[in-house]
Amino acid sequence: MGKGLMVQKFGGSSLANVERIQNVAKRIVSYKKKGYDLVVVVSALGDTTDELIKLANRINPEPSEREMDMLLSTGEQVSVALLAMAIHKLGYEAISFTGIQVGIITDSSHTRARIIKINTDKIKQELNNDKIVIVAGFQGVTFNQDITTLGRGGSDLTAVALAKELNAKECEIYTDVEGIYTTDPRIEPKARKLEAITYDEMLEMASLGAQVMQARSIEVAKKFNVPIHVRSSFSKKSGTMILREVKKMEDVVVSGVTVNKSEAKITVCNVPDRPGIAARIFKELAVHGISVDMIVQNVSHLRQTDISFTVDKIILPKVIKLTKQIAKDIKAGDVLQDEDIARVSIVGVGMKSHPGVAAKMFEALAENRINIEMISTSDISISCIIRKRFAELATRAIHKKFALAK
């Protein structure tokens, strides 16, 4: 009698060279020996996706999104085949599939497609043949047979969606750190590994820059209550569980600190200060599918004001072009761009019931003479925009201020 089905996802860093691929194959086989049925999801090897993006940009700085998906989806196809071969070499049966082959059907929003449904027949059939099934992460296909991708880090989403659809007992995410930490352990070596974290906190941390899990994958996990175990592919230690609820001994006010350097700030100068203008700017951006992060409007002088907002750098050229047109239409002044910013944030569900959390964060920055340029808050997070060169210093200072270290 089998032990049930397990979905295991291995990130690019876990597959960066031949030895690592062999190592991953050994781990998978060890679970097969224990009696698990296995569906394995893999990312592209090492930095393949970044390299492919660079290559595309050298050919055309504004590549078509459809062609981008066609290109990027090749990375994961390499991984599934090599991993299947590595498992065969160990004497076990495995079969690889692309997202298209297993029928991961998505909408047609290229580079950030949403999963509509998954046909699991093919996977189930191969599991019945006692094979280890290896699926390419990050990719899907539209009803029109166009290849799509699920946004950066999208293999996490493939894994969670398959775990849900196949009713897996466990969904393991293998990466190059031992779990979810109080902050990126590469920035603060004293960061502490969390035993468990709630979907809500993980979602907030991921949205605010902790790239260890893709935010959308956590949304899906939360919606369908899929428990996730994030752990290292280089050790046997258990990692961090991501769950609906986590019992903590004491009130933890702040669970983690995140940093995000992938945003840019845009400022529209000398905007006429009258009702309806902000609505006009942001409606126009929304119509073009642009989601804006922080927004700040300065105090008005002489019936004119500056409005600043942040967007993901990837869409900066498009946003600048559009904003310049809007500025002209509403008779505003110059449009300035600034890529030299970083967002540092604190996240914690305990924040709701504790006053003074923001003040403490600002203090940590002040003590290090770091100027705050923009601030935004949610129920369970506070973010500050600062100069990019202070990102690491700020992260460590805030981490220390809230006593998050081991």
* CB 322, CB 235: distance < 8 Å: no
Which element (helix H / strand E) includes 307?
A: strand 304-312
Question: Which DSSP state fits 375?
Answer: E
Residue (40 or 365) nearer to Mg ion, CB = 40
For the CB of residue 402, give the shortest distance to ligand ADP in the complex, in Å: 14
How many of the chain's residues bind ligand ADP (CB under 6 A)?
19
Q: Among residues 151 and 153, whose Cβ is nearest to Mg ion? A: 153
Residue 140: beta bridge partners? Answer: 148
Whether the Cβ atoms of residue 38 and residue 2 lie closer than 8 Å to each other:
no
Report DSSP state, residue 193.
B
Residue 154 contact partner, candidates ligand ADP, ligand ASP, Mg ion, none, CB within 5 to 8 A by sort of partner: ligand ASP
Cβ at position 14, least distance to ligand ADP in Å: 6
Instruction: Output the residue with the shortest Cβ distance to ligand ADP.
Output: 11
Contact 394, 402 (CB under 8 A): no
Q: What are phi and psi of 385, to 5 degrees?
A: -90, 130
Which CB, 180 or 386, lies closer to ligand ADP? 180
When CB distances to Mg ion are compared, the closest residue is 153
| Per-residue tokens: 406 | 């081991």
Q: Which of 11/179 has CB closer to ligand ASP? A: 11
Q: Please report whether residue 176 would count as binding ligand ADP according to CB under 6 A.
A: yes
Instruction: Give burial (CB, 10 Å; 0-12/13-18/19+) of 70.
Output: middle
Q: Which does 49 bind (CB under 5 to 8 A by kind): Mg ion, ligand ADP, ligand ASP, none?
A: ligand ASP
Residue 183: which of Mg ion, ligand ASP, ligand ADP, none does it interact with, CB under 5 to 8 A by kind? Answer: ligand ADP
Angle at the Cα of 347 (from 192 to 207), degrees rounded to 5?
A: 105
Which one of residues 92, 181, 309, 402 is an interface residue with ligand ADP (CB under 6 A)? 181
Largest CA distance in the chain: 78
* 149 belongs to the binding site for ligand ADP (CB under 6 A): no
Alpha helices in 368-401 (DSSP H): 391-401
Query: 162-190 b/e with 16+ CB inside 10 Å = b?
Result: bbbbbebebbbbbbebbbbbbbbbebbee
196-225 positions binding ligand ADP, by CB under 6 A: 210-212
Site string for Mg ion, 8-47 (x = CB under 5 A): ---x------------------------------------
Q: How many CB atoms lie within 10 A of CB 344?
A: 30
Least distance in Å: CB of 327 to ligand ADP?
A: 36
Minimum distance from CB of 196 to ligand ASP (Å)? 23
**Which residue ranges make up the site for ligand ASP (CB under 6 A)?**
11-12, 43-44, 49, 75, 137-138, 152-156
Contacts with ligand ADP by CB under 6 A lie at 11-14, 43, 153, 175-177, 180-181, 183-186, 210-212, 256
